[in-house]
Amino acid sequence: MSNARRLLLEFETEEVGVRARDNKKMRKALVRAFSDPSEIVRERALIAAIDLGDPSIVTDIRAPLDDDNADVRVAAAQALAWYRQPRTVPALIHGLKDSDTWVRSHCALGLSKLLHGPIWARIPGEDIDIIHADFPEMDEDHIRKFLHKLELSEEAVDQFILWKSAKFEIEIDESILIKETEGKPIILAAAMIEGDEPVKDSGLSEEVETILSELPDEVRASLPSEDLRRLTPSTARELVTSLTAKKPKKKAVRVKRVKRVRKKKKKPLGREQLIEKIPAEVRETISEEVLESLSTDELEALVAATPEVEEDEPAVEKPEKKKRKKKKSVEALPPVNEEAVEDLRWQGFVDEYGEAKADLLITVSPEMLEGIPQEQIADMDVDTLKSLVQALEPR
């Protein structure tokens, strides 16, 4: 057993990718593993290809996108999407017709990075066939009109036509990888001055630094540096004011703990059954075209996110004495700072799913999100989640 195969079976994918960067023998073993008899080895080799950090590997990843095993195809689509190379466009378009939801999702994500405009996962199958067949009997003007109809941006249409004229044999672009890995704002931790004395350089203006100095050290240290870089004196003042404002005592806020009841697993519903479970008032807001494009997973999420209508229970009168006591305790509670609650809710989404998903989830009411399992949200990519949020928006 080769060293690379042993490491992959032990799930040391990062180790294989890192070693393959400088070791030609390990790199060859990694590429051979794409066609290994074991689907586990094939899948993990493709994951390791991302850790390799070499965009030229995409030329070897095209074949695994047709693998018999769905998990292998998912890993191949994920690797192609991550490297975002123009020469992979035909393969990614081909992947939009895959039978597996996650393969289609990763291919759509890769295309959205290369050709901005439409939600690629929502493009009708017949249009994908036309693109994949290289636009039979269509001249450039007709191709442009066709792409504009799919809502590609003007820049993306020009880019696609240029790549198509070169048959997508585009030189590997490593600068795209640099943008992918170093795209976030960089703050220098220290700069050297005479005498090799380190001096901190946060990249902030002196006025903003002065305002932020009012914060306790532990609070300042907890703030993301990339967010601090965006502060102006006015927004810095707002931030300091909100963080130093007196907060209500903990005893004034009571959280009712709900005991989780383990439910028996139910048999998965079919597509037609899921559509029938969508309430009429929600169903009316979704067009037939959007409904047909939703996958079974997305339909399940939509049904789970729709609050069930319950009959009002008859009010039970309580003794007057108890009413007065309850009223008094409610009046004693401090007013709720709704903005602070929203900030805490957004931060909770960030901690759980990251900023990109948090920006989408914060637009959905808590009642709509209540029935969607956290694992399902975590497994969705940003484009799939965006489509779900759009379907949940009131119309």
Predicted pLDDT of residue 246: 56
Which of 199, 227, 245 corresponds to the end of one domain? 245
Strands 191-193 and 197-199, bridge-based pairing: antiparallel
Can you give the length of the chain in residues?
395
Predicted pLDDT of residue 78: 92
**pLDDT higher for 45 or 395?**
45
- State whether 135 and 198 are in the same domain: no
- State whether 236 and 335 are in the same domain: no
d(CA 132, CA 45): 28
The lowest-confidence range among 96-100, 297-301, 327-331, 361-365 is 327-331
Give domain status of residue 284, yes or no: yes
Angle (deg, nearest 10), helices 39-52 and 24-33: 140
Distances (CA, A) of 325 to 250, 251, 321, 332: 21, 18, 6, 11
Provide the 10 A C-beta neighbour count for residue 382: 16
- Give the phi and the psi of residue 287 in degrees, each rounded to 5: -70, 160
- State whether 159 and 60 are in the same domain: yes
Indicate if the pLDDT at residue 90 is higher than 90.
yes
Give domain status of residue 275, yes or no: yes
pTM over 0.75: no
- State whether 177 and 195 are in the same domain: no
- Give the phi and the psi of residue 91 in degrees, each rounded to 5: -65, -40
Indicate if the pLDDT at residue 118 is higher than 50.
yes
- State whether 142 and 221 are in the same domain: no
Indicate if the pLDDT at residue 261 is higher than 70.
no
Closest C-alpha among 83, 111, 108 to residue 172: 83
Provide the 10 A C-beta neighbour count for residue 330: 8
Predicted pLDDT of residue 75: 94
How does residue 392 score in pLDDT terms, banded at 50, 70 and 90?
A: low
Closest C-alpha among 308, 293, 295, 1 to residue 128: 293
Number of domains the chain is built from = 3
H or E stretch at 198: strand 197-199
Could you tell me if 17 and 48 are in contact, meaning their C-beta atoms sit under 8 angstroms apart?
yes
Average pLDDT on 45-57 reads 91
H or E stretch at 197: strand 197-199
Could you tell me if 17 and 49 are in contact, meaning their C-beta atoms sit under 8 angstroms apart?
yes
- State whether 174 and 197 are in the same domain: no
Predicted pLDDT of residue 32: 93
Q: Average pLDDT, whole number, for the chain?
A: 76
Average pLDDT on 345-365 reads 82
DSSP at 173:
-
Predicted pLDDT of residue 42: 93
Residue in this structure with the two tokens 């007065």, named with its chain if needed: 324
How does residue 3 score in pLDDT terms, banded at 50, 70 and 90?
A: confident
Give domain status of residue 262, yes or no: no
- State whether 177 and 59 are in the same domain: yes
- State whether 57 and 164 are in the same domain: yes
Range of the domain at 277: 271-308+323-392
Give domain status of residue 10, yes or no: no
How does residue 332 score in pLDDT terms, banded at 50, 70 and 90?
A: very low
> What residues contact residue 74 under an 8 Å CB cut-off, 6+ apart?
43, 100, 102, 103, 106
- State whether 176 and 198 are in the same domain: no
The lowest-confidence range among 121-125, 291-295, 316-320 is 316-320
Give domain status of residue 83, yes or no: yes
Indicate if the pLDDT at residue 153 is higher than 50.
yes
d(CA 16, CA 10): 11
Give domain status of residue 13, yes or no: no
- State whether 284 and 386 are in the same domain: yes
Give domain status of residue 257, yes or no: no
Closest C-alpha among 122, 156, 164, 118 to residue 140: 164
Tokens encoding 232: 């102006």
The lowest-confidence range among 116-125, 138-147, 335-344 is 335-344
Predicted pLDDT of residue 310: 45
Predicted pLDDT of residue 183: 43
The pairs formed by 63-71 with CB atoms below 8 angstroms and a separation of 24 or more are 63/34, 63/35, 64/34, 64/35, 65/91, 65/94, 65/95, 65/103, 67/39, 67/42, 69/39, 69/42, 69/43, 70/99, 70/100, 70/102, 70/103, 71/39, 71/43
- State whether 155 and 232 are in the same domain: no
Q: Is the dihedral of CA 333, 337, 342, 348 positive or negative?
A: negative
Predicted pLDDT of residue 177: 64
Question: How much of the chain exceeds pLDDT 70, in percent?
Answer: 74
Give domain status of residue 143, yes or no: yes
Question: How much of the chain exceeds pLDDT 90, in percent?
Answer: 26
Could you tell me if 131 and 94 are in contact, meaning their C-beta atoms sit under 8 angstroms apart?
no
d(CA 175, CA 64): 25
Could you tell me if 313 and 392 are in contact, meaning their C-beta atoms sit under 8 angstroms apart?
no
How does residue 295 score in pLDDT terms, banded at 50, 70 and 90?
A: confident
Average pLDDT on 345-362 reads 83
How does residue 65 score in pLDDT terms, banded at 50, 70 and 90?
A: very high
Indicate if the pLDDT at residue 67 is higher than 90.
yes
Residue in this structure with the two tokens 């009012």, named with its chain if needed: 214
Choose the most confident range, by mean pLDDT, from 35-39, 167-171, 249-253.
35-39
Could you tell me if 163 and 86 are in contact, meaning their C-beta atoms sit under 8 angstroms apart?
yes
Predicted pLDDT of residue 365: 76
